[in-house]
Structure 1
Amino acid sequence: MTPSVVNLTAHEVRVIVDDATDVCFLPSGRVARLREEVTALPSLSLGDGLVPLTRVRYESTVEELPDPQPDVIYLVSRVLAAAVGRPDLVFPSEEVRDAAGRIVGCRSLGTFAGGVDA
């Protein structure tokens, strides 16, 4: 059976397979995220004034990530995929940028688990 891909990001993800073909994954309406702990640090004193500085740590709590399901691959952020390491999680990899430097798609879906078990 062909696995289905559920996009758990807030963005449309476009995989540019070649210059003429692409596959688009629309957001599912659910966004999987790692909960963040943000702590204020002393500001940086720069030539133009003070710039706030914060320390960000990711907690182990993952919000809106379903349990693994047969024949389902979840498209998530790279940070979440790295933190969780499940074989059913993929992320946009090999980003493609336009002339202004904006990301317009990616060349592949990546995984940290060595392969997708779907």
Structure 2
Amino acid sequence: MYKLINLTPHDIYLYGDGSLDDKDKLLLTVPSTGVIARVEQSMEKEGYIGLNSTLQDGRHISVPIVKSKYGKISGLPAPQENTIYIVSGIVAQQANRDDVVFPTDFVRDDKNRIIGCRAFSKV
């Protein structure tokens, strides 16, 4: 059996995936610990994309294109036996550890807002 530690800034609501006749029933709330795992990010400007859209004064809109670079992870404890850490997708990608997961297979409300997940993903 595993213990889940939520290192995101919000509670995680885990819904059934239907494997136990529990499709979309709230099974578990994993509260945020208040400790947030983050990864350093820097951006280098690569240029701009000019759009066909214009502002009211006739000028074309340009959108900056940046290249993201990721660095040190903070807030992620060392692995512990029988413990799984829930983090953001980008932290999981950078950590590349077997004990780190991120929410996936989202459950949405009637306004299409994410209210929970049915599964966790590994990188």
Q: Normalising TM by the smaller chain, what interval?
A: 0.7 to 0.9
Name the % identity: 32
C-alpha distance in 2 between matches for 1:11 and 1:41 = 33
Which residue of 2 is the match for residue 14 of structure 1? 13
C-alpha distance in 2 between matches for 1:98 and 1:9 = 21
Query: Which runs of 5 or more residues in structure 1 are unaligned?
Result: 113-118
> What TM-score results when the alignment is normalised by the length of structure 2?
0.78
> What TM-score results when the alignment is normalised by the length of structure 1?
0.81
C-alpha distance in 2 between matches for 1:70 and 1:3 = 8
Alpha-carbon distance, 1:76 to partner: 0.8
Pairing 1:50–2:50 present: no
- SS for the counterpart of 2:94 is helix
Query: Which runs of 5 or more residues in structure 2 are unaligned?
Result: 17-21, 54-60
Which residue of 2 is the match for residue 28 of structure 1? 33
Alpha-carbon distance, 1:57 to partner: 1.9
Q: Rg larger in 1 or in 2?
A: 2
| Letter in structure 2 aligned against 1:41 | E
More divergent stretch after superposition (28-37 vs 75-84): 75-84
Paired positions, count: 110
Which residue of 2 is the match for residue 116 of structure 1? none
C-alpha distance in 1 between matches for 2:34 and 2:107 = 24
C-alpha distance in 2 between matches for 1:21 and 1:64 = 28
Q: Deviations over 1:68-117 (max 9, x none)?
A: 112321111122222222121121121122232221111112223xxxxx
